[in-house]
């Protein structure tokens, strides 16, 4: 099968690194997605193990679709029966961009009809029961080219299952994992997020340190598919648990807001890494980095997203924070800093040009990860 891991813009190469590390060959990077070849077991592994991808799809096919006829014939020609069983439900979702086919509802009903015609004829049924598992079909038509997928993840992979939905504008888990991955943190130095909010970055750092598979605490759409053997999920979950290790770690997270720290603690407990993270209520502008270093740790890494300041008053406060952080942090040789900010003036306020920068999107907000190492 051609498998496809979708991701946030700017994260593609990290997803590709993860896939290569997992042993996949023929990994192809495109905008917002990474293609790779694999079988059912690989689909299971990708869902359970990928830290920085949003969903894992099966790419069923791609073809030119300038008219509804082309769309219908193209969809009908794809081998849906190799994945969707005779009782399967196959709802259709999709989007179009820069294409002659613009009406999403029309495209949706054509894709549905064409897949139904194909499956009815392959299964010899006049009417498909659609009473079984859900095989979500996704179409994406861009510049008159249609891509047809089946969604094996279901709920997006950034939802690991440790964070309730209620939290105010937190960082996406996959973005936090991307920041940790860029820093190459594996637990060998002190970790600190002094603006931890709901604790996402520290939790993802703990996952990286112990090699925890991020998908262990949740389920996936393809677990209900008859075409992916049940035991693969059990086997791969067991293999993932067996691949975890425990060492000596110092992972610290703090926030000025006691309610945030309480929530972060609860999230870490749900994630099963509470005992690995030292939480505290603290003002980041008064935290001494030197106090965090203790034997055997001689070096530290700060990975954080301080307040953004989207509104004007908040923006002034954010600038004040960046200036103060710069004053305290910029000359330190024993620490590395990975700071996510949407401010164009971050470096000016921090008082030091980053060694590297990486464009990342936190939802719709374009940010830069400023790296000092
Ligand atoms: C953008 S949020 C961080 C979100 C976090 N990454 C998450 O995943 O939920 C910024 C956080 O900084 C905290 N904060 C603001 N000023 C602070 C200060 N001086 N010291 C420590 N934390 C502060 C806020 O309470 C807020 O939780």
- Checking if the pLDDT of 311 tops 80, the result is no
Ligand 1 pocket test, candidate residues 160, 256, 304, most atoms within 8 A of CB: 256
- DSSP class of residue 196 equals -
As given in the structure block, the two tokens for residue 324 are 């103060």
Q: Is the CB of 215 under 6 A from ligand 1?
A: no
- Checking if the pLDDT of 161 tops 90, the result is yes
- Ligand 1 atom index nearest CA of 304: 6
What domains are defined for the chain?
A: 2-151 (3.30.2130.30), 173-212+243-372 (3.40.50.150)
Chain centroid, CA 134 distance in Å: 22
Please choose, from the candidates 323, 367, 306, 317, the residue with its C-alpha nearest in 3D space to the C-alpha of residue 342: 367
Atom 27 of ligand 1, nearest CA residue: 197
- Ligand 1 atom index nearest CA of 260: 27
Q: Give the per-residue pLDDT at 26.
A: 94
Q: Return mean pLDDT, the chain.
A: 95
- Checking if the pLDDT of 86 tops 90, the result is yes
Q: Is the CB of 263 under 6 A from ligand 1?
A: no
- Checking if the pLDDT of 55 tops 60, the result is yes
As given in the structure block, the two tokens for residue 215 are 């998908």
Query: For 31-40, 156-165, 335-344, which range has the lowest pLDDT when averaged over its residues?
Result: 156-165
Give the mean model confidence (pLDDT) for residues 145-164: 96
Q: Give the per-residue pLDDT at 10.
A: 93
Strands (E), 194-351: 251-255, 277-281, 300-304, 335-341
Q: Is the CB of 318 under 6 A from ligand 1?
A: no
Name the band, by pLDDT with cuts 50, 70 and 90, for residue 310. low
**Could you report the per-residue pLDDT of 89-138, keeping only the tens digit for each?**
999 999 999 999 999 999 999 999 999 999 999 999 999 999 999 999 99
Q: Is the CB of 171 under 6 A from ligand 1?
A: yes
Is the pTM higher than 0.75?
yes
- Checking if the pLDDT of 334 tops 80, the result is yes
As given in the structure block, the two tokens for residue 138 are 């996704």
**Could you report the per-residue pLDDT of 21-37, keeping only the tens digit for each?**
999 989 999 999 999 99
Q: Which helix (H) or strand (E) holds 138?
A: strand 136-142
Q: Is the CB of 260 under 6 A from ligand 1?
A: yes
Q: Give the per-residue pLDDT at 274.
A: 97
- Ligand 1 atom index nearest CA of 193: 6
**Could you report the per-residue pLDDT of 220-249, keeping only the tens digit for each?**
999 999 989 999 999 999 999 999 998 999
Q: Give the per-residue pLDDT at 315.
A: 83
Give the mean model confidence (pLDDT) for residues 257-271: 96
- Name the more confident of 307 and 201: 201
């Amino acid at each position: 099968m051609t498998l496809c891991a979708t991701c946030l813009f700017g994260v593609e190469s990290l997803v590709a690194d993860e896939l290569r590390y997992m042993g996949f060959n023929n990994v192809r990077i495109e905008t917002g997605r990474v293609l790779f070849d694999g079988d059912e077991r690989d689909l299971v592994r990708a869902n359970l193990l990928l830290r920085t991808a949003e969903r894992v799809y099966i790419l069923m096919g791609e073809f030119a679709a300038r008219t509804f006829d082309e769309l219908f014939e193209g969809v009908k020609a794809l081998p849906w029966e190799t994945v969707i069983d005779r009782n399967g439900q196959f709802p259709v979702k999709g989007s179009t961009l820069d294409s002659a086919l613009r009406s999403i509802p029309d495209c949706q009903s054509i894709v549905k009809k064409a897949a139904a015609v194909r499956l009815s004829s392959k299964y010899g049924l006049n009417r498909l029961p659609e009473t079984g598992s859900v095989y979500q079909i996704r179409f994406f038509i861009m510049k008159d080219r249609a891509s047809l997928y089946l969604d094996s993840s279901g709920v997006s992979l950034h939802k690991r299952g440790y964070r309730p939905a209620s939290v105010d504008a937190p960082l996406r888990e996959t973005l936090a994992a991307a920041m940790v991955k860029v820093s190459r943190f594996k637990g060998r130095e002190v970790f600190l997020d002094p603006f931890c909010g709901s604790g996402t970055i520290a939790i993802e750092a703990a996952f990286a340190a112990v090699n925890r598979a991020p998908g262990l605490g949740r389920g996936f759409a393809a677990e209900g598919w008859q075409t992916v053997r049940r035991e693969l999920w059990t086997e791969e979950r067991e293999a993932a648990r067996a691949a975890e290790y425990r060492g000596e770690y110092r992972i610290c997270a703090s926030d000025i807001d006691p309610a945030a720290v309480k929530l972060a603690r609860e999230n870490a407990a749900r994630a099963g890494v509470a005992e690995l993270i030292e939480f505290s209520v603290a003002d980041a502008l008064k935290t001494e980095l030197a106090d965090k270093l203790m034997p055997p740790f001689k070096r530290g890494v700060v990975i954080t997203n301080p307040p953004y300041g989207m509104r004007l008053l908040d923006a002034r406060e954010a600038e004040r924070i960046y200036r103060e952080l710069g004053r305290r942090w910029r000359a330190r040789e024993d620490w590395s800093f990975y700071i996510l900010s949407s401010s164009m003036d971050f470096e000016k306020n921090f008082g030091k040009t980053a060694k590297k920068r990486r464009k990342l999107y936190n939802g719709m907000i374009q940010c830069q990860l400023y790296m000092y190492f």
